[in-house]
Amino acid sequence: MSNTHADTVLFVRDTMLPQQEPPASTVGALGWAKANLFSGWFNTTLTILSALFILYLLSGLVPWFASPTWYAASLTECREILAGHEGACWGVIRERWLQLMFGFYPSELYWRPVLALVLLFVAVAPVLFADYVPSKLLGFTALYPFIAVWLLWGGTIWAPVMALLGFVVAFFVFRYASKQISPALALIAGVIAALLWWMVITPAITPDLSRLLPIGIEAVQSRQFGGFMLSITIGVTAIMCSLPIGILLALGRQSDLVLVKAICVGFIEFIRGVPLITLLFVASTLLNIFMPPGTNFDIILRVMIMVTLFASAYMAEVIRGGLAALPKGQYEGADSLGLDYWQSQRLIIMPQALKISIPGIVSTFIGVFKDTTLVSIISMFDPLGLSNAIRADTAWNGVYWELFIFIGAVFFIFCFSMSRYSMYLERKLQTGHR
C-alpha cells in the first residue's frame, strides 16, 4: 500500500517541522492593539475618535488642575495669579476644607469626630474582615454606638451609659424569662423591661448620677454638625439600622401571618412610593406634630429615623429577592431537621439569602450614603449645603468646579470602595463550583 502513491506524490515529509514563533502581529503589545483597538475600520474609527476625545480632555484638564492657586484667599486673587489663563482656584479648598469636613463643629474639639471615625474603622473591622481580625473585637463593636454618640454630642457620660444599661437589662430579663415561658413572651418581657428602664428609671436617676459623678465632656449642639461628618453620621446610622429592620420587614412580607404581612407590605410599598425628600419634610415639619405635645427631639435624630425607615424598605425588597431565590428544598430541609422558625432562619435561610443579596445590599448602602446629601434641602449643612454657603460668600462667589470636584471625589472614594468591598466579599463567600 505504501507504494501506491509513489508515482503521484513526489515528496512526503517524515519529520515534524520545528515550532515557530507566532507572527509578530498577533502577540505582544502589537497583537493586543490589533485585536482590541484596530480590528476593522469601525473599531479603528472609534479608537481614534476616543483617543482624540481623551487628548482634548487632558489638554484642557491638566493645566487647569495644575494651577498654582493653593494659597489664594479669594477668587479675585486667583484671577490675579492666573493672569488671564484658565485654571482652578484651589485656594477655596485650602481655606474651607476643614469646614467641609466638620461643618461648624468647635475647632478645638475636632479630635472627637476624628477619634470617632478611627474607632468606627476599629469597630467594623471584625465584621468586614472576619478572616484577619480577632472576633474578640466584636464586643467593642457592640459598645461603639454608645461611644460614638458620646464623643460626637458630648455631655454627661451617664446618658449613653444608661441607654446601654437598658439593653443589658433587656438581655438579662430575656435570658431569665425564656427559661420560664416561651421565647416570644420572654422577648416581649425583655422589651417592656428595657422601656421601663429608659422611661422611668433613667430620668429618675440620671440627674443625681450626673451630680454625684460629674463625668462628661463639652456638649455640642446638633446644629453645629455639618460637612462630611454629618453625612457619615447619618449614613452610618442608617446603614447599621436598616439591615436588621430590613431583614425583619422581608421576613414579615414572606410570613404566613396575614396581618403581619399586610402591615409589612403596606409599609414597604408606601416608603418606596414616595421620594426621600418628602420623608425629610415629614422629619422637619410633621414629626413633632405626631409626637405628644411638648416633645421636641433633635433634628438630626429625626432625619436619622426617616432615612433609616427609607433605607429599610429598600433593604427589605433586596432581601426578599434573596429569600425568593433560595430553592424551596432549603426551607423543607430545615423543617425536616426539626428546627423551629427562628432557628431555621438563623442557621439555614438567612446566611444563604444574605449571601445572594450582597450586591443589592451594598448598592442600597451606597444609595443611602449618597442620599444623605438631601438633608441640605431642609437647611442642614452637609457638604452640598456648605458649598451653597461658600458660593454665596463674596470672596468665593463664582467658584463651583473646584468645590464640586472635591465633594464628588470624597463621595466617590467612599462609594467606590464600598462597591469594591462587596465584590471582594462575593468572591470570598463564593462556594459554587467554578
Binding residues for another protein, rule: CB under 8 A, are: 35-37, 39, 43, 46-47, 50-51, 53-54, 181-182, 184-185, 256-260, 263, 270, 272-278, 281-282, 285-286, 288-293, 366, 370-371, 373-374, 376-377, 384, 387-388, 391, 398, 400, 404, 407-408, 411-412, 415-416, 419
Measured CA to CA, the distance from residue 364 to residue 384 in angstroms comes to 21
Strand, coil or helix: 16: coil
The span from the CA of 282 to the CA of 416, in Å, is: 31
The rounded distance, in Å, linking the Cα atoms of 69 and 79 is 9
Distance CA 91, CA 99 (A): 14
CB of 277 to another protein, least distance (A): 5
Whole-angstrom distance, CA of residue 14 vs CA of residue 144 = 79
Burial of residue 318 (CB within 10 Å: 0-12, 13-18, 19+) is: buried
Helix (H, G, I), strand (E, B) or coil at 156: strand
Q: Decide: 386 and 103 in contact? Cβ < 8 Å.
A: yes
Rounded to a whole number of angstroms, the minimum distance from the CB of residue 54 to another protein is: 7
The least distance separating another protein from the CB of residue 345, rounded to whole angstroms, comes to 16
Query: CA-CA distance, 14 to 307, in Å (whole number)?
Result: 79
Task: Please say whether the beta carbons of 250 and 320 come within 8 A.
Answer: yes
Of 72 and 271, CB closest to another protein: 271
* Min separation Cβ 105 and another protein, Å: 22
Name the minimum Å distance from CB 373 to another protein. Answer: 4
Estimate the share of the chain in helix, then strand, then coil, as percent rounded to the nearest 5. Answer: 75, 0, 25
CA 210 to chain centre: 36
- Among residues 148 and 238, whose Cβ is nearest to another protein? 238
Question: Least CB distance from residue 369 to another protein, whole Å?
Answer: 8
Nearer to another protein, 216 or 359 (CB): 359
Give the position of cell 467606590. 416
User: Considering beta carbons, is residue 145 or 252 the nearer one to another protein?
Assistant: 252
Closest distance to another protein from the beta carbon of 100 (Å) = 13
Strands 155-156 and 216-217: antiparallel
Q: Which DSSP string corresponds to 415-432?
A: HHHHHHHHHHHHHHH--S
Grid coordinates in use for 212?
Answer: 454625684
Q: Residue 348 and residue 353: Cα distance in Å, rounded?
A: 9
* Closest to another protein by CB, 166 or 383: 383
- In terms of CB distance, is 4 or 295 closer to another protein? 295
* Residues paired with residue 217 on neighbouring β-strands, in sequence order: 155
Q: Are 382 and 226 in contact (CB under 8 A)?
A: yes
Closer residue to another protein in complex, CB, 125/263: 263
* C-alpha–C-alpha distance, residues 377 and 393, integer Å: 19
Minimum distance, C-beta of residue 347 to another protein, in the bound complex (Å): 20
- Closer by beta carbon to another protein, 159 or else 170: 170
105 contacts 113 by C-beta, under 8 angstroms: yes
Half-sphere exposure of 302 (CA within 13 A, CB side): 23
Provide the total of helices (H) and of strands (E) in the chain, helices listed first. Answer: 20, 2
Q: Closest approach of Cβ 45 to another protein, in Å?
A: 10
Residue closer to another protein (CB basis): 206 or 288: 288
Distance of closest approach, residue 143 Cβ to another protein, in angstroms: 30
Rounded to a whole number of angstroms, the minimum distance from the CB of residue 250 to another protein is 17
Q: Decide whether 35 or 325 has the Cβ nearer to another protein.
A: 35
Q: Which is nearer to another protein, 59 or 285 (CB)?
A: 285
